A and B are shown apart, each in its own frame.
Chain A
Amino acid sequence: MFAASGINGALGRAMLLVGIIGSLFGAIAAISSARQRDQAVAKLIPRFAILVFAAGFGAFAVMERAMITRDFSLAYVQKVGSVSTPAVFNFAAVWSALEGSILMWVLILAGYTLAVTFWLRKKMDDVLSRYALGVMFIVSMFFFVLSFGPANPFAAGPAGVFDGPGPNPLLQNHLLVMFHPPMLYLGYVGMTVPFAFAIAALITGRVGEGWLLATRRWTLFAWGFLTIGIVLGSWWSYEVLGWSGVWAWDPVENASLLPWITATAYIHSVLVQERRGMLRVWNLSLLVSTFSLTILGTFLTRSGVLNSVHAFSQSAIGPWLLTFFAVIVIVSVGLIGWRGDRLHSPGSIDSPLSREGAFLANNVLFAIFAFVVLLGTVFPLIVEALQSRTIVVGEPFFNRLTIPIGITMLTIMAIAPVLPWRKASQELLSKRLFWPAWCGVIALAGSVWVGATGLAPLLTFALGGFASGSALRQVVLATRRQGLRGLVGRANGGMIVHLGVIIIAVALAASNSFTHSQELNLEVGKVATFSGHTFELVDVTEEKTDRATAVKALVKVDGGKAYAPAITKFTKQGMNVGTPSVKTGLANDIYLTLEPPVRQDENKARIKVFIKPLLLWLWIGGGLMALGTLLAAFPGRRRKPTSPTSDDDFAADLLVTL
């Protein structure tokens, strides 16, 4: 037993040490070869990238091995491992607490470093590539050190422990824990790549458009995963937490949303730079903000500064992350200041009523949106620091401020896609917006017809119709011209993403504004009615395993299939976890939860019913966003490549020739 445990602990630590050394040498090789233009040293970079990835992968594999073989000599396995956890949740238990999450970060970052190295293998002569890889190695080294030191997952635990509590019960009753965190991390960590290129561009002074075009797809890739991760997180919240909501403005959720907002702003404003060469400082700042917000978010949520429902992972890594955040900000701001003269944007924007004008307005909104989310997240800290008083900033605050922002965004989404670059005439606008506007009116009439009330939801439905009209117009015109090829490419894929966003906005407005709920005291044999649906209790069952005791109420909805909301008492943690059961439909979800106290022997159950309109469309919209991102990543054909810098292949060549 002891010998075996020694192996996992020692092997894991050794892997991390190799990772630190590999990243250090990789960074030295990359940066010194970039400074001295030394081709021989540059040839070593790929080897270090492979070494770093092997170390990261090895460390993660060792942790999985320790978890699967239930090696209770490790403190981490004692904390989140248990003999009775089912295999799938045991596999996911590795990332169910802080140390393991950092280890996953290490693995994914090492993977990105290797992928970027491979992608740059033929462009290694370029100094910019070397600097970018240097930055990747430095960030990798930081996370390896973090995992080796303050967030060590391989620390030995007290002897004589043969079983543990297992992961937090909330993390072991839905399969989504397998997918939500890895997706989110692929997005989060992926933002390192554009950041590395931004820093490299600043160092080399080649702040033109070449580097930016080259990294655009990496940003889109990371953004797509971040989107999927956030949507899966909402789905998990809906399926597991039992309050029928998808988003609670919890600090951890906000931390994942913040880089998403700035990255979304970047994806839009980068088009202005590609087309017009403007907004250089702004785009660099957005990339730097996105990356530093991932670090700040991790600091806020994982250091215990802010408490949240995700508080099961806290430790002393706070000062490390805060220092790293400060270094990133200082270095980036310093570099931007140093290169100020080259960053001066040529050209000007002729009219606010143009494609670039709309992108600017969009960016202002996204910046305000990010500011509101950040302010709401850290405000309790400020009040506590200044007046040592506890306040809570929750959903009502965020809703009040973000709903107007969202509605304004929908307005821009309705108009911007039809705007030409440079300048739009009134006749052109009136012609192009005519049918989309009617789509809006029809959507509004339809929602009034089905009984929707309230200004904010109605505006959302109307503008949603308008904006989807504009998006569809673009897609229809493109497919009419180019057939199926009209579905790929940035502009067209982007419109599919817009459609997904609109569907999500409509679904959020409908499900937030028109949810009805009622508690029903059900008895076997009696039928209760709520909101036009019937509910009949069939049976109350109890299932006991050595891990948990689950009480399930079988409820027939509308005389059809029986749904089984449950309350599971996890024996080891002494924690009750409610598991909702949902009858999904295109128009309504019927969401059932079993309410405590549970009296299993009396053939009675207290059930809470939520009727949630259009909720299913959230996931459909999320899927459409993912699909659109994929389509946008394929190179589309431009009708007239008026500006040579907007061509993809040219960008790649540029990177080599420069």
Chain B
Amino acid sequence: MNSKSVNNKWSWMLVVLSAVALLVFGSTRSSGPQTQADRIDAITKVLACPTCQGESVYVSRASAAESIRAEVARQIASGQRSDDEIIAYIEARFGSRVLLVPRSTGLDSLIWVLPVFALVCAVGTLGFAFRRWKVVGSDSISEEDAQLVERALREER
């Protein structure tokens, strides 16, 4: 291949277009009907096992988790409630400590807000640093380092 064809704008367009097309097609097509087992898995993954410490109902083998799993399975089999309604029902029965996803209200919302805040701060600092470096431009070398390099070069010879 010669570098001209590689640098070709058109081939890059082709890369981008095919990637976008594949992504759109792949992520929007349906993955087949959701089975009851899939629904049970999805729901139990966001419920905490009330007697264990920090494990989800999906993960836990404890008897409390077994009974919640059975209850979820029964609700899904009856086919009357949506996933969210089942989760709300389980929460009403066992209390909010069975929710594995922190709420987005009150103090709990901090767990969602703080990472975003940290990201904004970090990216902001980085952007600021790059701007400052651009202004400073030239390298200023400290005395110590200059001596270091000098000595090293002398020894090299």
Contact = CB atoms under 8 A, between A and B. Distances in A.
Interface in A612-652: 644-645, 650
B111 A453 contact: no
A309 B12 CA distance: 50
Contact of A430 (B12, B38, B115): B12
A499 B58 CA distance: 31
B108 A452 contact: no
Chain B, interface size category, equals 35 or more
Contacts of B60: 243
B115 A371 contact: yes
A330 interface: no
Interface string A389-424: 011111111001100000000000000000000000
A383 B108 contact: yes
B54 A394 contact: yes
Given A392-B99, A644-B156, A243 B111 contact: no
Contacts of A245: 59
A251 B61 CA distance: 18
A208 interface: yes
A3 interface: no
B41 interface: yes
B84 interface: no
Contact of B102 (A360, A391, A431, A515): A391
Interface stretch (A20-28, A76-84, A341-349, A478-486): A341-349
Interface in B84-110: 96-102, 107-108, 110
Contacts of B123: 364
Contact of B26 (A346, A348, A453, A517): A453
Given A342-B144, A391-B96, A455-B27, A309 B118 contact: no
Contact of A243 (B61, B114, B138, B139): B61
Nearest to A371: B118
Contact of A376 (B30, B46, B111, B132): B111
Given A391-B102, A462-B19, A311 B53 contact: yes
Interface string A432-448: 00100110110011011
B55 to A, nearest CB: 6
Given A243-B59, A383-B108, A397-B111, A307 B53 contact: yes
B80 interface: no
A361 interface: yes
Interface in A331-357: 342, 344, 346-350, 352, 357
Interface residues of A, number: 80
Interface string B18-47: 110011011101110001011001000110
A392 B22 contact: no
B66 interface: yes
B41 A517 contact: yes
A350 B130 CA distance: 8
A127 B15 CA distance: 57
Contacts of A242: 61
A602 interface: no
Contacts of A352: 130
A393 B102 contact: yes
Interface in B1-19: 3, 6-7, 11-12, 15, 18-19
Interface string A447-475: 11001111100110010000000000000
Contacts of B38: 516
A434 B31 CA distance: 32
A248 B59 contact: yes
B51 to A, nearest CB: 11
A396 B48 CA distance: 11
B58 A448 contact: no
A598 interface: no
B45 A396 contact: yes
A391 B97 contact: yes
B140 interface: yes
Interface of B: 3, 6-7, 11-12, 15, 18-19, 22-23, 25-27, 29-31, 35, 37-38, 41, 45-46, 48, 52-56, 58-61, 66, 96-102, 107-108, 110-111, 114-115, 118-119, 122-123, 126, 129-130, 132-134, 136-142, 144-145, 148-149, 151-153, 155-156
Interface of A: 208, 241-243, 245, 248, 250-251, 277, 307-309, 311, 342, 344, 346-350, 352, 357, 360-361, 364, 367-368, 371-372, 375-376, 379, 382-383, 386-387, 390-397, 400-401, 427, 430-431, 434, 437-438, 440-441, 444-445, 447-448, 451-455, 458-459, 462, 515-519, 576, 578, 596, 644-645, 650, 653-654, 657
15 contacts: A208-B148, A243-B59, A248-B55, A250-B55, A307-B54, A346-B141, A346-B145, A375-B111, A391-B96, A391-B102, A395-B45, A395-B59, A441-B18, A454-B31, A645-B152
